[in-house]
Amino acid sequence: MQRLVLNLFVLFSSILFSGIAQAGDRPNILLVMADDMGWSDIGSYGGEIDTPRLDQLAAQGMLFTDFHASVSCSPTRAMLMSGNDNHIAGLGTMSEMLVDNQRGQPGYEGYLNDRVAALPEILKSAGYNTYMAGKWHLGHSEDRLPFTRGFDTTLTMLVGGASHWADRLGILPEDDPAKYASNGAYLETLPADFYSSRSYADFLIDSIRAGRDNGKPFFGYLAFTAPHDPVHVPEPWMSKYDGWYDEGYDVLKTKRWTTAKDLGLIPEDAPLPGPQPLTTPWENLQLYERQTEARGMEVYAGMVDAMDYHYGRVVDFLEDIGELDNTIIVFLSDNGSNPFYSVDYPGADDPEFIAQFDHSYENLGHPGSNYAYGPGFAAASSGALGLYKQTVGEGGIRVPLIISGPGISKDQKTGAFAYVWDILPTLLDAAGVEYPATFDGRQVEPPRGRSMLPLLTGDVNSLYGPDEIVAGEMAGGKWARKGDFKAVLVPAPYGDGNWRLFDLASDPGESIDLSGNMPELLLELTTAWEAYSEEVGVVPAQL
């Protein structure tokens, strides 16, 4: 029945929006992804960081307040590229987290597998120019590079995280030096003046300019590695936020919670989430600890600001060449804010690995530093939400999503629940392209997501029905959603491993557990999660 409802929904939307994608007038697509950016980090979501170009995007399109991704990088990116569940698409867990009992299991290949057709492959076969600049993280081997999955030109970082400068210093010993590739060939060096956000924007602009002569529409994937750690940024952003965060992360979280209410992003009576796991109260820190924490957040804010600026350069270029009005722009983050410090990564406390960095306070944010801002400011970046990356709490999986373009409602907010697997069907629908039953001679799984176009044009106000259940899993964290209610299990060290139930309409920070008051609903949701787990092939890690 659910599949029948989905098919009717897709049929309805394809008929309704066939006029958006007439032959010869198909829209360009600019898909922009931030890396590890918290829900409240940009101005239109309640943040104090200067993000005028993304705020302008929100004014020109639709802002989602209840959009969700996975808990970490590659599972989200697998769903984004496939329109399917991460366990179907090959990233049942991140490749770096695979354990012995998961290796070789279907859906745990550690790369974007061949059970799905990738968004750039489909669009390329439909006559689009396809370009990518930024983070891939969906396969390192030569046959799994983005160039082999449908992109015409690429400049990509292949791993989960690395220096934003030319030195290619990795955040994991196994990824040091970090792997980069361009157009199917590995890169041994980067240009001396490389800085990630600027260089990726430059490459995408150059690619679009070079491909204009063939008259095809373009799909550009701008996958920023900002603001993922290590926190690095050049001037003028390096010093722009000096002193802004001296009051600490507890005060910042409260300010963003208040602003989110003022903006109508959360209910007026939504409670502030309580103390977050692994976070030391600001007043209990030593003076030098406060100074270091605040400095890390200053640089992080500069990274978000710089990312906004370089995204804006791409938009200005599209306007200059007369393509902006016919371009759908999608902006999102791959997951919530990162609670790790740099030494928390596997093997990152190895003395030989540490010795190559300059960890001094004075060097923080400059080349050679390796600093991640930790759980305190990660909790602040979540704003009104609880928890952060690597958890299925709302702060880990609820992320910004803004979409604008031809036919899309302007200056609108929607509280409709949507999921990252809905992006691919939406973009294909807008382009007038069907997801194939077979691709390159192989059967491919149909998407689980659905087109958001009726929502984006204001013809409907919800994407999923009140009785439909959507579920997910990552790293032992479990969630199932029905309407505004969410059952969630957060394992240690961020939770106690017990199922809880929350009403996200009134409590987006997941502060008030309703499991004792509504045991029947909790049972319905946990039972649905078990069915989901069996259907997609979840393989729990056996450590």
Domains plus CATH for the chain? 2-17+26-536 (3.40.720.10)
Give the sheet arrangement for strand 485-489, strand by strand: 469-474, 477-482, 485-489, 499-503
Q: What are the residues facing 442 on neighbouring strands?
A: 439
Altogether, the residues listed in the chain come to a count of 543
Question: pLDDT tens digit string along 20-65?
Answer: 444 358 999 999 999 999 999 999 999 999 999 999 999 999 999 9
Q: Which two tokens stand for residue 441?
A: 């001679």
Question: pLDDT tens digit string along 517-540?
Answer: 999 999 999 999 999 999 999 999
Predicted pLDDT of residue 152: 98
Question: pLDDT tens digit string along 238-287?
Answer: 999 999 999 999 999 999 999 999 999 999 999 999 999 999 999 999 99
Predicted pLDDT of residue 11: 43
* 3-class SS of residue 531: helix
Question: pLDDT tens digit string along 373-424?
Answer: 999 999 999 999 999 999 999 999 999 999 999 999 999 999 999 999 999 9
Q: Stretch 7-16: mean pLDDT, rounded?
A: 42
pTM of the model: 0.94
Predicted pLDDT of residue 15: 40
Q: Which two tokens stand for residue 366?
A: 């400059």
Catalytic residue annotation: 73, 137
Are the beta carbons of 109 and 90 closer than 8 angstroms?
yes
Q: Which two tokens stand for residue 298?
A: 């200053």
Q: Stretch 152-156: mean pLDDT, rounded?
A: 98
Question: pLDDT tens digit string along 163-175?
Answer: 999 999 999 999 9
Q: What are the residues facing 131 on neighbouring strands?
A: 153, 220
Question: pLDDT tens digit string along 322-351?
Answer: 999 999 999 999 999 999 999 999 999 999
Q: Is the pLDDT of residue 12 over 60?
A: no
- Cβ-count burial 331-369 (b if 16+ within 10 Å, e if not): bbbbbbbbbbbbeebeebeeeebeeebeeeeeebbebbb
Predicted pLDDT of residue 326: 97
- Distance CA(273)–CA(509), nearest Å, equals 5
Predicted pLDDT of residue 134: 98
- Distance CA(222)–CA(201), nearest Å, equals 7
Tell me, what amino acid is at 478?
K
Predicted pLDDT of residue 13: 44
- Distance CA(484)–CA(384), nearest Å, equals 16
Question: pLDDT tens digit string along 511-523?
Answer: 999 999 999 999 9
